[in-house]
Amino acid sequence: MKNRLFRSCILVAIFLFPALLWAQEKLYYFMDPKDSLIGVKDDKGRIVIPPKGASIMYFEPDEPIKDSLIHLFDFDTADTGTAISFGSIYNRKGQFLYRPLAYDNGPDYFEEGLARCVWKGKVGFVNEQGKIAIRPQWDWVSPFNYGYAFACNGCYWDRSKDAEHPPMAYKENAKTFYINREGKSVQLMKQRKAEKDLPVDGGYLPYPFKYTTGERKILDEIEAMEVLSKIRNANTAAKAEGKEALLQFEIVGRPSALSPYYKIQGYSYGSFDKEDPFLFYRTLTGDYFQVGWDGKDKTPFAQWLKEALESCAQYFRQHPDAPNQFDVGKYLEKL
C-alpha cells in the first residue's frame, strides 16, 4: 500500500511540476529601447535576463514565455571553428546553460532527447533540461539517430568549394567515430549479431535500446497499431511487403519533472532511418500525442490519426493505382 501511494505521489509530482512552475514564474521578453537588445523579465517587472540578445527574434511582449529553456541571440564573437554557436540558452531563473550549435539557420533542435552544444569550437550534447550530457570534444558530430551519432576530429567545412553549403572535408590526420548516448566510441561489428543491429559503412552497430517490462508493453501497444505502418506506406511508389513494410518503434525519452512523457520514435524497419511524422508522446496514463519535428506542437492522437487517414483517402482517390491502398473507411469508423 505504501509503495502504491509513493508511486502515485511521484506521478502527481511529474505531471504538476511544469504547471506549478508556469503558475509561479510568468516570464516575458522585452526590448531595451536604448540599444534594441532583448531580455527577459517577470510579471513584476524584475529583470531576470538583462538585455543582451540581438533583436532578430520575433516575440509578443504580452505573451508569457512557456518554454523551460529560453533562447537569446547573444552571439559569441569568439566562434571560429567548424562548429559555430547560435546564441545562448538560459533557464527560467536567468542562469546561462549552454550555447546551441548553429544548424539549419537556427539553434540545433533536440533529436532523441539530445541537442548539440558548442564550447570553444568543440561540439557536445545537452539533455532537455539544458544540462551537459556529453561534454564538447569533437570538431563535428551529427544528431542522434537510432541511439548513435557520427563524430569527427580533424574535419572542417570546405567553404572554398561552396561558401553557402560547404561540404565536409577531412585533414590528413582526421579521425571519425560512431558514438553512443554516453559519448563513447563504438566499434563496428563485421557481422550482425541481432536482427535490429544498425547497418553502417559496411558493418554493424549493436542494437542500443534496453527496456523494463513495463516499457516493453508500451512498445507492444503502439506496434500493434498496424494502421500506422499502412499510413506510412500509403504514398510510396513500390509495393511494401514483409517486415520492411512495418514501422519499428523505440523509446527515445522517458518522463521527467519537466516532461511527463514517454517519447516514442518510429523508424523504417531494416534501414532504421527516423520517420519524422511518427514521433509520439505517451503520458503515464496512456494518452498519445503526435509531435512535430521541433517537439513543441503536440496533436491529440485521435485528431492526428483522423487527419492522416483522410489524407490517405484523398491520395488514393487521386492515384487509383497506388500499390499500398487499404480500407481507410474501416479505420475511420473506429474513431
pLDDT tens-digit series, residues 174-231 = 999 999 999 999 999 999 999 999 999 999 999 999 999 999 999 999 999 999 999 9
Give the angle subtended at the CA of 30 by the CAs of 26 and 34, to the nearest 5°. Answer: 155
Mean pLDDT estimate for the chain: 88
Beta-bridge partner residues of 168: 157
pLDDT at 324 over 70: yes
Contact between 308 and 234 (Cβ < 8 Å): no
When pLDDT is averaged across residues 30-49 and rounded to a whole number, the result is: 93
pLDDT over 90 (residue 80): no
Q: Cα(114)–Cα(134) distance, rounded to whole angstroms?
A: 9
Q: Cα–Cα distance between 220 and 252 in angstroms, integer?
A: 15
Q: Is the pLDDT of residue 11 over 70?
A: no
Which of 74-83, 142-151, 171-180 bottoms out in mean pLDDT, i.e. has the lowest? 74-83
What pLDDT score does 78 carry?
59
**pLDDT of res. 79:** 54
pLDDT at residue 13, as a whole number: 45
Q: State the average pLDDT over residues 103-130.
A: 91
Mean pLDDT over 91-112 rounds to 91
**What's the confidence (pLDDT) of residue 61?**
84
Tell me the residue type at 330. Answer: K
Most confident by average pLDDT, 77-81, 110-114, 317-321: 317-321
Q: Quote the pLDDT of residue 332.
A: 96
Residue 76: what pLDDT? 66
Domain ranges (residues) in the chain: 1-55, 67-205, 213-332
Distance between CA 187 and CA 62 in Å, rounded?
52
In the prediction, which pLDDT does 74 show? 86
**One-letter amino acid of 302:** A
* Tally of CB atoms within 10 A around 335: 9
Above 50 in pLDDT, residue 246?
yes
pLDDT mean over 247-253: 95
Helices (H), the chain: 2-24, 213-223, 226-233, 301-318, 328-332
Q: Is the pLDDT of residue 5 over 50?
A: no
Calculate the alpha carbon distances from 179 to 87, 92, 289 in Å: 26, 31, 30
Q: Where residue 258 falls among pLDDT bands split at 50, 70, 90?
A: confident
Strands 247-253 and 261-268: antiparallel
The pLDDT-based confidence of 131 (bands split at 50, 70, 90) is very high
329 sits in the region (left: phi over 0; alpha: psi -120 to 50; else beta) called alpha
Of all residues in the chain, the percent with pLDDT exceeding 70 is: 90
166 or 40, higher pLDDT: 40
Instruction: Report the DSSP beta bridge partners of residue 102.
Output: 107
Angstrom distance (rounded) from CA 289 to CA 303: 9
Residue 53's pLDDT band, with cuts at 50, 70 and 90, is confident
Report whether pLDDT(323) > 90: yes
